[in-house]
Chain A
């Protein structure tokens, strides 16, 4: 009896370890994804001489703009974990089933393209820039995600991020170098499409982790 209970404890411990490892992997991948995307966007904007974050920092905490990539990574982790959770709560895990890595990469590439369009193309007005980007973001959501929960979540995240950004400006946390009106025009759309992309990746990672843990659980059960 003791042996059995010990075995059960050991098995559950193994399972917990397994889940933790998978979770850590997911978190690490999402974090790396967010960091990479933020660096890429910054590089693209740097081509246009519109570096988003330059120098003056809030209360002198960080002297450079190097806090942006980790922040992007953390938010990517949060979004990537939030999407599957919301899916599970709403009982609509169908998106992850028809998603695979190639479509995630496709979505990411189009997201990068969206950034490039925002950075490179000269629009007549900020309104036009904003409109075009919004339409493209909605198209991105429609084509790759298509779920209502995804739309709602992305909208909420975009609005939230834009509000936080605005608040930081108001609190004089940092001062954008150039033409912040332009930045304000495209930032929510970029947040929207970025959260769609990260959400897609997060869903796929969650589905794979689920299948991996269930298969390993089945294997241990079989043993």
Chain B
């Protein structure tokens, strides 16, 4: 499987997961968000307004040489800042906590500076004095000096009290929770070397500063202070840096005008809001636009905050100006994924379940999202290679933000989208209203039809056709015979208006607009294969040049060479590599080398690199804490005097009892997962990014895989092992053959033309006929052209050839019967079972009641081909068959509910040729042996009537009739047996399977007593007599196989081998001709025995499938001449268990199936489509949604596979559908 499909499959499962447990997932996500937001509490926002500062390095400190460009030098400096930078080297052998050992010296140094006196000058009268800090919490206020000298050091964290420091069990926490830590340490946090992870396996360097703020500059005092500090027992002044260290710098904080300062920011934020507006505007077709828009914004903002939190967990505090970088980060991360997901999900078909909609929508876009995420992360990771700290930091935050944004999109936004879609589900009340409206409409239409009954034959109900959106196909046929009555038009217009009103009441767009986007994907593939238009020559020349890409390559080459050459990237990389190899701690990128130093001499963080950040961010905010502004003023930075100490030497000096039990619990729990590398510097950042991306992707994949492996059946409830995976849903546009006004009842299709007649093997010559519940019949050829349409009610009025019609019963009665008759809407099996629920005599009487409610059947009419009947129009079609042995004339044989057999010719005239009454009961089964033109019709009471069709004379000649069974038949088929001619197999309510030889069946001269069955009176006696007669004559032409213990419900023949039968007892038998035909004739073998009644059996060359009453499918496979039970598959469990009508198809070679057998059933997931099950792979191969414009969603039932035309014929409501076979798999 390609990675693309795997990714989209993962997204599918993820969508199902999110839509199934929205509450749990939301709760978990919010917990995770809060967890990652927690470090933000300690985030110090250094400066709320951007300060611009100008650096000036005067030759003369006194300020006498005031240049005209520096007018601000006239005034004295606001403060003079001196830093004493202490670097503590902690060797890896040090047994005590590094931080404690390092910071212990700060107390001593702080006290030294505070109490220092040089001559008559002490710090107390030279220093910059402050009042109490305001606008801080009391805990923070205690850490800043108040009413005295402004002197800062890490010791201020413990109010310069060594006892408090020693009794502090959790130094790291104290340091980390303080928002003032960077001010107190005197340097940006990443330079201090303090990290939350105690990596003891290597040497560490911890740095801090003692920062003294002086009123004015006294060089002598400063020098003596610096020298005095070097005399500390542990300190080791670095003489090489002394001269360079104290070069004073003036830092001027510009008092920018409001416009210059804030206009770019305003423009930026207006652009940001425009972007958000234009993005969020695209969220459409959801229940709550505002809610989802808020969700999208929250996703972005929360992911950014989470990224800051994640970085702070790893010890990287943001140093960029947040208000400036925030819009860029938002724009960079973007809301595209959110919009794409929303669009994809809302454009899935609304008939699907919510979780399947979410899953399908996600899986369609999963690959795109993943690809763009990877592309963005790689592009931004390139930013880490730029050797500029600001860009690196920005890129780092952006990369982590992308990852967290992806996480939030997948878990937060998808979940709220699923909740929104769930809220948008149409109410069942609305569905009910649609159904009611449609029913009403049909009733109205029937009344209309009664009124316009006198009109043209080929009248097609326009109103419903219009509402079904298929009026074009009908208009071809009957553009000349449009309805004329104004009332009909107004009625249908009224109905249409109601329907439209109903649709407008619903907030959603009509479904065709919905599905259009959904169809795009499947249709674009076909569209791209369109032939290319003719291209002018110059364009071709351009294309040729473009295909060679000479210019582009040249330009790119030049660009690359220029960039490499200009930037010296190679030298920079090599320098970086060299420095990282030689000094692994990688503390400072451009550390000043110390050639003469011994091994214990460590490098300092270069204050020349960090002080601008302090000046820009921290010092103004420090002055702000004391309610002073530096705007328009300047400070003088004297630099940092560097000292060095080795904490390993001092570790013994520190009181041991406090440090012996240095707790391991300071380390976060994920420390156990592994030992993180040094997290500072370029390569550390790159490592974090790579780690983050890999971690997110792999953990997501692993989670999904676990779900898939362990709890799939439980989690996704997709049934038993073999058929549990939801296959991809595909949408197919079928050819719609709009049949009639009411639902299609029976469909029959002409058999294949003989092979020796190639002219008839065209698609157009294969025809199919469909009858609808109101008795009308439509005939098409397979190219979708309607050949004929009969409305039998109208036909019988005047155009029946052989029947002298003097109908006395008005068609209004017939329609009344249709409207409220209970039997009309029933299928064939229900019809039979309705009959079988009564006793045989009752069945006969009921049936005759039903068929002839108003008629009195003439006693002698059964064999009279031209007998006049009275209630022609009240009968409905119960069975039919097509006869096409001749290309010129095609006939349709129809068995009716009143026992009539009708022969229709639809070649040119479309008229009923002949009509005879075979019995008083309705004809339930009809088979035609095409070669001999013999038809056998079975009645509901088990009689078989054999007729010969004289097509030339347009006549039906009754040959014989006999009783096959005293009880109704359930199935009848002609089994082409090579040895003995065609056999007729019947299976019925009497638990028996009978085989008749057709040739001998025709020769029986039937006894006359069956005619007495016509009347309701004495039907029981007559049936008994008929049974006796049948039993007497059975020996000659009938073979009875008694296999089942319950009524036999289904029969299926497989050529030259036998018959499979399925019974209500749950058994499936194989009945095949015995080897010695003389004795028993047939032998039977039970294949399956289970509890559920077998409702249908379908056989192909290699497989058989049985549909059970609870909706299960039973698969059998023919192995070396014997059937083996392959498996039993169950469709989705939460569906109402309704029996399926499976259709077993042997696919033609173009289908990419290893074994060509597949099953097609109605869709089990409640959508308007089909399921295709592959037998070889033992799973559901695909789900097919048929894209039609139904107003109501009737289930689609597969009827048969037209293997030569590669079409699957289905019926759905009032229409027939032709689905191209290749689109199903």
Contact = CB atoms under 8 A, between A and B. Distances in A.
Interface of A: 40, 43-44, 46-47, 49, 89-91, 100-103, 105-106, 108-110, 112-113, 116-117, 121-125, 127-128, 130-132, 134-136, 139, 142-143, 148, 151-152, 155
5 contacts: A91-B543, A103-B336, A106-B334, A109-B272, A109-B327
A70 B543 CA distance: 36
A110 B391 contact: no
B566 A148 contact: no
Contacts of B282: 100, 102
B328 A105 contact: no
A134 B563 contact: yes
Contacts of B328: 109-110, 113
Q: 4 closest Cβ contacts across the A-B interface?
A: A131-B567, A102-B278, A127-B567, A109-B331
Given A109-B331, A148-B552, A123 B268 contact: no
B618 to A, nearest CB: 17
A151 B275 CA distance: 24
Contacts of B388: 121, 123-124, 128, 132
B279 interface: yes
Given A47-B256, A117-B391, A90 B278 contact: no
Interface string B539-583: 100110010010110010001000100111100100000000000
Contact of A43 (B264, B278, B336): B264
Contacts of B135: none
B275 A105 contact: yes
Contacts of A116: 264, 324
A112 B552 contact: no
Nearest to B552: A148
Nearest to B380: A139
A63 B161 CA distance: 66
B278 A100 contact: yes
B386 A132 contact: yes
Given A43-B264, A127-B568, A128-B386, A91 B539 contact: yes
Interface in B317-352: 324, 327-328, 331-332, 334-336
Nearest to B382: A135
B401 to A, nearest CB: 15
Contacts of B631: none
A214 to B, nearest CB: 18
Contacts of B336: 102-103
Contact of B263 (A43, A103, A125, A136): A43
B271 interface: yes
Given A43-B260, A109-B331, A152-B555, A121 B390 contact: yes
Contacts of B954: none
A152 B386 contact: no
Nearest to A44: B264
Contacts of A40: 263-264, 267
Interface string B343-381: 000000000000000000000000000000001100100
A122 B279 CA distance: 34
Contacts of B386: 128, 131-132, 135
A44 B391 CA distance: 18
Nearest to A126: B566
Given A90-B546, A131-B569, A155 B559 contact: yes
B278 A105 contact: yes
A135 B324 CA distance: 21
Nearest to B555: A155
Contact of A128 (B264, B375, B542, B567): B567
Contacts of A135: 382-383, 386, 563
A125 B332 CA distance: 26
B567 A109 contact: no
Interface size class of B (residues with CB under 8 A): 35 or more
B387 interface: yes
A121 B391 CA distance: 8
A143 B379 contact: yes
Contacts of A122: 612
Interface in B249-289: 256, 260-261, 263-264, 267-268, 271-272, 274-275, 278-279, 282
B52 interface: yes
Identify whether the interface residues of B are mostly helix, strand, loop, or mixed.
Answer: helix
A132 B566 contact: no
A103 B325 CA distance: 19
A156 to B, nearest CB: 9
A47 B271 contact: no
B264 A105 contact: no
Contact of A112 (B268, B274, B567, B568): B268
Given A40-B267, A130-B566, A139-B382, A102 B279 contact: yes
B864 to A, nearest CB: 63
Contact of B391 (A89, A90, A91, A132): A132
Contact of A105 (B274, B551, B559, B572): B274
Contacts of B260: 43, 46-47
A179 B54 CA distance: 16
A106 B336 CA distance: 10
A136 B563 CA distance: 13
A49 B549 CA distance: 43
Contacts of A103: 336
Contacts of B552: 148, 151-152
A90 to B, nearest CB: 6
Contacts of B391: 117, 121, 132
Contacts of A117: 390-391
A43 B267 CA distance: 11
Given A102-B275, A112-B267, A113-B331, 16 more contacts: A43-B260, A47-B256, A91-B539, A102-B279, A102-B282, A102-B335, A102-B336, A109-B268, A109-B271, A112-B264, A117-B390, A121-B388, A128-B387, A130-B566, A139-B382, A152-B555
A156 B233 CA distance: 67
Contacts of A43: 260, 263-264
Contacts of B267: 40, 112
A84 B375 CA distance: 27
A208 to B, nearest CB: 14
A127 B565 CA distance: 9
Nearest to B259: A43
A96 to B, nearest CB: 16
A193 to B, nearest CB: 14
A121 to B, nearest CB: 5
Contacts of B261: 47
Nearest to B335: A102
Contacts of B568: 127
Interface in B10-55: 52, 54
Contacts of A124: 387-388
B566 A131 contact: yes
A117 B386 CA distance: 13
Contacts of A44: 264
Contacts of A130: 563, 566-567
Contacts of B271: 105, 108-109, 112
B390 A89 contact: no
Contacts of A134: 559, 563
Contacts of B546: 90, 148
Contacts of A113: 328, 331
A47 B566 contact: no
A101 B278 contact: yes
A101 B271 CA distance: 12
A198 to B, nearest CB: 15
Nearest to B539: A91
A43 B265 CA distance: 11
Nearest to A40: B267
| Interface-centre pick from A110, A131, A142 (highest chain B CB count, 10 A) | A131
Contacts of A100: 278, 282
B52 to A, nearest CB: 6
A168 B116 CA distance: 61
Contacts of A139: 379, 382
A124 to B, nearest CB: 7
B697 to A, nearest CB: 21
